[in-house]
Structure 1
Amino acid sequence: MQIVYSFTRLAVVVRRWFEIGPDATMEHGTRVELRLLEPQEHRGTESAAQRLVVDDAVWRADLFDRLDRPAGSFSAAHHHPTFDGVEPSDRVWSDALTADPWGWLAEQLADVERLLRDGGVDPALAADDADDLREQVPHIVAAARRFGPEDPLTRDGDFRLTRDAAERVRRMLDLIEEPSPDVREHLRPWLEQR
């Protein structure tokens, strides 16, 4: 499940996320991305449905816990301040993020011009969207909290919200040399999803 806040040239995508690292560490929580909308030509009549293409990622926050740590500790919370094409930069860890993840997220999104500039995008591209996005920050943060790790879901609950990422989970599993039977059992729903 993904919630998209779409403006004129910007979009914020909020979703539940689940992943497994090369060391078989499992992480889950909220992923929030600042992305660009790809302009589309008008099609059909004035009343026709129009395409919405949410494309290039500029910035990402992963407000995650590790499954082997206490819920709500945000033990794997990090952000990716830039992207190289579709690939995120390395993880950046922040004490401020871990101490107050939802306040930190609100502060980041409120300074959308800085996020764009740091991400290599001219903030003028979204001049018409910046104030509208700031106005929606409380709603975006509230949606992000719905997917947060403080109230852990069961494995099947995580799968229900992240089954669209099954191919990515399978790719992550391929990076683990010898996954344990427990890891394979936990990942079974994603492995069986086609």
Structure 2
Amino acid sequence: MKDVVTVLYLFGFERIGVAVSDIYFIDPNPLAGQEGAERGVRLEVRMLEPGELKGSIYSARPITVDRPIWRVDLLESVSGAPGSFDRTHHHPAVRGWEPGRRVFDEQLSKEPLKWLGERLADLEGVLDQAGVAHDEVSPADVAGLRERTPEILETVGRLLDGVHAGALGVSPEAGAGSATSIRASWL
């Protein structure tokens, strides 16, 4: 097994955060047509919980990155061409810690960063689709996410570039062709 480094970015607002990581994935129970290894970038909108200081006013603050609300997987099959986005999908609703079914959207696969930017700039619409009450987030969350969407998209783009270059979203096993289940990612 080789050393694999996965990267995690977290953008935090008041009650929500956006977590972004590269991912290499082999589903042990794939849907028909979804067999084989996948690589790419996963983004999740998550609830955040600030903790109480554990020492002086200068101490580090504990932060809990809690339950996911919404997930986007900018994936492609490892056997395909980089940039194909042939496995790109989203999970409009997450129940507890389990994502709902994969939802494929032609526009998401065609223009993933544009599609993602439109969704992130419309947190209220994402919450509605996810079945999450608007009072679980604050107006500062909505405004902060909208304001930082370009920065988040830039980060996602850099991670995708790393995946397409073969530096990120790689298998942790040299012989992964025979593996039936792998998940290398923070998310």
TM-score, length-scaled by structure 2: 0.80
Distance in 2, Cα, partners of 1:84 & 1:113: 18
Q: 1:32-64 deviations in whole A, cap 9, x for unaligned?
A: 000001242343332221111111100000001
Identity of aligned residues (%): 32
2:19 pairs with 1:13? yes
Q: Residue 108 of structure 1 aligns to a residue in which SS?
A: helix
**Which fold has the larger relative contact order, with Cα–Cα distance below 8 Å and residues 6 or more apart in sequence?**
2
Distance in 1, Cα, partners of 2:133 & 2:127: 7
Distance in 2, Cα, partners of 1:40 & 1:2: 20
What residue is the counterpart of 1:136 in the other structure? 148
2:178 pairs with 1:184? yes
Q: Residue 158 of structure 1 aligns to a residue in which SS?
A: coil
Q: Residue 92 of structure 1 aligns to a residue in which SS?
A: coil
RMSD in angstroms over aligned alpha carbons? 2.5
What residue is the counterpart of 1:40 in the other structure? 51
Shift of 1:149: 6.3
Q: Residue 17 of structure 1 aligns to a residue in which SS?
A: strand
Distance in 2, Cα, partners of 1:182 & 1:9: 38
Q: 1:150 to 1:98 in 2, by over 3 A?
A: farther
Q: 1:57 to 1:70 in 2, by over 3 A?
A: same
Q: 1:18 to 1:141 in 2, by over 3 A?
A: same
Distance in 2, Cα, partners of 1:84 & 1:62: 17
Q: 1:111 to 1:104 in 2, by over 3 A?
A: same
The answer (yes or no) to whether the contact 2:22–2:168 under 8 Å persists in 1 is no
Moved over 3 A (4+): 156-159
What residue is the counterpart of 2:4 in the other structure? none
* Equivalent residues in 2 for 1:74-113, closer than 5 Å: 74-113=85-124
Distance in 2, Cα, partners of 1:137 & 1:25: 32
TM-score, length-scaled by structure 1: 0.77
Q: How many residue pairs get matched?
A: 169
What residue is the counterpart of 2:125 in the other structure? 114
What residue is the counterpart of 1:177 in the other structure? none
